[in-house]
Amino acid sequence: MTHAVVTGASRGLGLVVSIELARRGWTVFAGARRPADLHPRLAELREQEGESFDIRPVALDVTSDASVRAAVQTIADQTGHIDVVVNNAGVPGTWAAPEDVGPDDFAAVLETNVLGPVRASRAFLPLLRESAQPRLVFVSSGMGSFASQTTDPAFREIAHVPYPASKAALNMIAVQYAKALPDIIVTAVDPGLTATEFTAGSGHSVDEGAAPILAAALNVEGPSGRFLNGAGPAGW
């Protein structure tokens, strides 16, 4: 049985990724700050998909050591291994001109988008190491790619600091984790502009955004240390 943890699974990309993995017969631990909010949707899904459809909501706030520790314990009480951790939880942070963005604005977005995945990945390492094919997925962004930000005309007019900085840091964390953890397939993913609450509905469908995240979660052959988007491997 394949087991995954998805953070930020209450809605948007995290929810769709959780549903798609469960449709493949996986057990998915859906991390959410308010897991009870997921219960009605999951009851509906179980009705549609059948009793074997297995998404289990777990309280998980990636900014809290205590919450992450408790989530690991809750999950460890139910399984001896995790095959995939999808670090998906993220916030856009403050979008404003540099003169209106200070350290507190950076701290808020870095806490969730950078320290959150570090906190969760580290806490789940012992369970990941019990998997025969462990994978760590970091949901990043083209906004965090130096290649896209410096060459892609689509980004020429978009100048924003904290969020891209957080995802650039996340990309480097993925690169270094891939080197430091050769037993784990590590992938950073750019879902592309996707119509969720995050973008107030702009962008392609959530299914399209989820596709490269699913590809990373399903990839058991490697190589490790790649940045993927909907078209395949992308420049960092």
Ligand X SMILES: NC(=O)c1ccc[n+]([C@@H]2O[C@H](COP(=O)([O-])OP(=O)(O)OC[C@H]3O[C@@H](n4cnc5c(N)ncnc54)[C@H](OP(=O)(O)O)[C@@H]3O)[C@@H](O)[C@H]2O)c1
Catalytic residues: 163
Contact yes or no for 90/33 (Cβ under 8 A):
no
Residues that bind ligand X (CB under 6 A): 7-8, 10-14, 32-34, 60-63, 88-91, 112, 116, 139, 141, 191, 193-194, 196-199, 203
Contact yes or no for 62/119 (Cβ under 8 A):
yes
Query: CB-wise, 63 or 149, nearer to ligand X?
Result: 63
What does the alpha-carbon distance between residue 44 and residue 186 come to, in Å, rounded to a whole number? 33
State the nearest-atom distance from the C-beta of 72 to ligand X, in Å: 14
Query: CB-wise, 133 or 228, nearer to ligand X?
Result: 228
**How far from 174 is each of 14, 69, 128, 189, CA to CA, in Å?**
19, 22, 16, 10
Residues 6 or more apart whose Cβ sits within 8 Å of residue 122: none
Query: CB-wise, 141 or 187, nearer to ligand X?
Result: 141
Classify residue 54 by its DSSP letter.
Answer: E
Query: CB-wise, 176 or 205, nearer to ligand X?
Result: 205
State the nearest-atom distance from the C-beta of 119 to ligand X, in Å: 10
Torsion of CA 144, 182, 89, 36, to 10 degrees: 170
Determine whether 26 is exposed, middle or buried from the number of CB atoms within 10 Å of its CB (0-12, 13-18, 19+).
buried
State the nearest-atom distance from the C-beta of 31 to ligand X, in Å: 6
Query: CB-wise, 33 or 133, nearer to ligand X?
Result: 33
Nearest to 84 by CA among 28, 152, 16: 28
Which three-class secondary structure state does DSSP give residue 203? coil
